[in-house]
Structure 1
Amino acid sequence: MPTYLDRILEGHRAAAALDTRPLAGLAEQAAAVPPARGFAAALRGEPGLSVIAEVKRRSPSKGPLAPDLDPAAVARDYQSGGAACLSVLTDVEWFAGSAQDLVAARAACRLPVLRKDFTVAPADVYDARIMGADAVLLIAAALSAAELSDLLALAGRLGMDSLVEVHDEDEAGVALDAGAELIGVNQRDLVTFEVDRARAARMAALLPDRVVRVAESGVGGPADAARLADAGFDAVLVGESVVTAADRAGAVRALRTPAGDRRSA
């Protein structure tokens, strides 16, 4: 049975197959961009639980969330609330995002920014750096083990971090074998699109101390964030609950746990 991810990836892989731009030209453009802000370093440097706050206009499951948002204003709100990093959706068809959203959000703040999209080819990684992204999302379920390893290495050569997203134990093993140091556990089921809020806690113990652990999806408020911090996560990636909040800075601030000793990464 096709999942929502299968349908999204079909379009992205078709677009990648039609992309005839020489990689050498993209590499030259990427090399001319100022150095990336350290995404993983920002998460490691935060006391307590770090928050990656997301600029998100819509979702496939919920529809429009904040279609008329101003990405620069949202980025400033998130920074004011104590977010360690930003995540910006750039997928157009399913999330109504754009590269322009990322450029505007990053220019408005000093935070490192993740390009949240469906990375399937080297050109996607180059494009992320060219638009100013400091990190890329690599979804283990969307890539072969060889693709994951190659794209992870390419991002590293360009000075970017990679958030490797996993959904189960097998994918976590593939991510670790590829050398991922920043792993996100997505609690959303790829078939049903339902959120399993126990998934991240079950998987936290599988990730070694060298990994920065990020919990994704199903973080509705401080109670969820506290539970994930107690399970051993270093950060949460939060979209819907903060982007739809009347007080976005306050919503981010409420997710942060009190400062405390963090394990070395």
Structure 2
Amino acid sequence: MTPETDLYQIFTQKLGFKLRLKQFAKERGIELTIAIVGLFIGIATVLVSNKIGVHQEILQASRMTDSYFNGVAELFARGMDENQRINLIIIARTEAIIEDLNQIKKPDKLASIITFVSHLKPKLFYREDDGESKRDKYIFLSDINLEGAYLRNINLEKSRLANSNLRKADLGGTNLKDTNAKRVNFEKANLDRVNFTNADLHGANFYKASIKEAIFTNANLEGAIWVNGKRCEPGSIGECHFK
């Protein structure tokens, strides 16, 4: 049988399925080989493209954070405590990079920005009403993804974290006193020794979180999901009440 043989003739012959398959492979072996090789090349191209894309995202995030640190450090060197305008520039730059890093899903880089500001000047996380010069603008930390982030032993007092994702994050020893943490996802997070004094934790999720030595004095826990999976009832102030 020649290569030009009609394939219809092969499958109309009274042959078993295996014999038909062997005959088909014999007649169209080259075409099948080319098709299979082409398929593997296509898959390899997609995998390489994805790997390159991920690498480019990592480089982009690193360049963004490096540029931010250099710029803010330069502003800080000018004496930001005495210059309200410099404070506002730092806040604007910080909010911009937080939004960018959140969009490309880089919680580790986001955590480094937040840690940097908390050591630099934690007052930038909330509206400042003290002193002669009042400041209405502050760095907004709500609605961001910080899953698995490392945020240990930093000061986030009075910050606004509502609706953010802190699942599996490590916040051991962090100060969250007076924070607005409504509906924050703390599932499986390390919250050991965290200070939640006076924090608004309404509707937050603490399922399977570690809360050893955590302080909840006067914290609003109404509607929160506790570590055991039960929901805190109305009137849960300072501790979770459930049936």
Q: Same fold (TM over 0.5)?
A: no
- TM-score, normalising length: structure 2: 0.27
Higher fraction of strand: 1
Q: Tell me: higher relative CO, structure 1 or 2? Use CA pairs within 8 A at least 6 residues apart.
A: 1
TM-score, normalising length from structure 1?
0.25
* Rg larger in structure: 2
